[in-house]
Structure 1
Amino acid sequence: MSSTDGLYLGLISGTSADGIDAALVRFADGRPTLVAGLTHPWDGALRERILAVAQDELRLDLDAYGRLDVAVGMAFAEAARAVLAAAKVDASAVVAIGSHGQTIRHRPTGTHPFTLQIGDASVIAERTGIDTVADFRRADVAAGGQGAPLVPAFHATVLRPTQGSRVVLNLGGIANVTRLTHSGDVSGFDTGPANGLMDAWCQRHRGEAFDRDGRFAASGSVDAALLSELLDDAYFVLDPPKSTGREHFHLAWLDGHPRVAELAPEDVQATLLALSAVSITDAIERHAPDATDVVACGGGVHNGALMRAIAARLEGRPLLSAADVGIDPDQMEAMAFAWLAYRRIRGEPGNLPAVTGAKGLRLLGAVYAAP
């Protein structure tokens, strides 16, 4: 067993900011095993601020930005302590934390490309007493990459098929797909919305953070005209590498389509669910037509209506939950950032240029030492 093996802790809050996923992972000879995982709730007021900033509804001065960065770091430290308490593991037993942070802006193209995640890693290291690896995406962007998605490299570690090819589908606020082959090829990209738009619409009209089991959507009918307008967005026909987020697919983007105001809220929700299902399955058909199965993870696996809509369009390919292949679907991404911390501590690259478009392999993340 390598001296860098042992326990690592991964932390991430996704596009929907529906909670901080924390995963305690043991590595033995490079093989990860989930020891404990949980989703730590956000303080409601803090979550509202995060979403307002991410959707460009709230502009921050430097003082407000600094306070938000620290507040998010404190929340991430609480999530780390919570999973350690649940597992009855002392902080001294953990080699390092890998913290993705909370993305508030992702602009990987243009003259000055950047990606911005907040959650002060020095605060996490100080409050947990554990060395913390953070800022995983910017090295890839500096090398000409998208900085996202980063999880396909981890998917290849734990879900590579023994024959043929497979798609791993992450249903977070944004959906991303990874194509894996038994021979080692890996590709992947963000397809567009998964839960993010539905969550935001549900919050606006129901006061609920998400559409439980897709019941709100199931109570409405898909509007074909609106669906066609939404699918006409240029992002959907871009070739990979590509990535996106709430700064593009947000309520202001949706409200920019006049037909939205003419429809009942439940019909808009049904149409948003169809948008996710159609854009996801179209992307799979276009870029992974040889896939023999699709393994889903992320919060969207609990939305029965969304899973059924995706399965109906997969043309005979089985849609599985990651749980069916032995991995907690709610903790896949947090496990991936524990794995990225493991790679960083070992001095090994964490990106896949074939996925992100970076010029080459890069060491991802900076290490913030605990006191």
Structure 2
Amino acid sequence: MTAIELNGITRHYGGDVYGVRNVSLRIEEGEFMILLGPSGCGKSTTLRMIAGLEPVTDGSIRIAGRDVTALAPRMRNVAVVFQSYALYPHMTVRDNMRFGMKMRGTPASEQDRRIAEASDILGLNPYLDRRPSDLSGGQRQRVALGRAMVREPDVFLMDEPLSNLDAKLRAEMRQELVKLHRRLGRTTVFVTHDHVEAMTMGDRICIMKDGEIVQTGAPLEVYARPRNVFVARFLAMPPMNLVPGRLTRSAEGTRIEAGPIAGMLPAREAALFAHVPGEGVLIGLRAEDIRDTPRPNAVPVTGQVVTREALGTENVVGIDAGGTVLQARVDRDLLPELGTRLTLHADLSRMHLFDAASGETLLRANGHA
């Protein structure tokens, strides 16, 4: 089984500087794991330690049950795909794919077989005799993938491989990588700072911050139940709306007051949050939970339009409601002029609650965020 086990791994550069601190994570055989986070969070350092390109200060790494912590990269049977492609500019596509196998002494007939198979899967046959300078960015990335594939590794490690591509190519390559993973079934670790890549590609997401793991889970699970404010805001665009507020309880029910958002909680949410303190909370609502049409459990919020983005399938509008700016996803036919007043509707049945001091999620009575 080609599972990867990270057991308390740390990368210490000296003094108070850590790249990664006490990270433990199990990546299952055949899983597509996303390491997600902002620049400097430790995700690339973690990947480089798995590859053997960065030493482990403390802890251990096991691949397929074998302790590889002290092994050289070539002994780990992993293949790395970098952001920069790292192709040899003077070699053809065929020779770029062949080079590593040649250095390892792979028989020429086996080299040809692997190149033919990878080229067929990746659609590289028309380009095998071209040099990297004659290829587009997407084609170069396919060559980098092909060079990794011909190694027939146990594990693929990908460090932001799509970040140099334009938006259209990125979307196409996301789909191609998912198809490739399903076809090959190899354990894959994919580093990115892009929440769209994380949500659309991964079996699981591991969100990192300041060299530590913040939350791990299936994409939709993490999106629906963020562990804290950092996860809630990072895993969405626009980020989740967060407003300081309070809950007051009476015989009539539970009332929420959070800046311009005020109203009675639906009975279900009042029961689920009955144990939550009334003071010192942040109310969180995603942009898609503030809409331009009335709906059950929603309260009206009126403000002045201060931002607007036309996305084609929908629009994102920001309103300033008494000093609180709220971002909402609205119908594509609604694109109000800046400065106009607009009433939106905040769905209280979709709200999240966070502790204002710590930023941690306040769990519902059923144990969910």
Which category of TM-score, normalised to the shorter sequence, fits these structures? under 0.3
The structure whose RCO (Cα within 8 Å, separation 6+) is larger is: 1
Computing the radius of gyration over CA atoms, which structure comes out larger, 1 or 2? 2
Q: Could you tell me the TM-score, scaled by structure 1's length?
A: 0.26
Q: Could you tell me the TM-score, scaled by structure 2's length?
A: 0.26
* Structure with the largest fraction of helix: 1
* Structure with the largest fraction of strand: 2
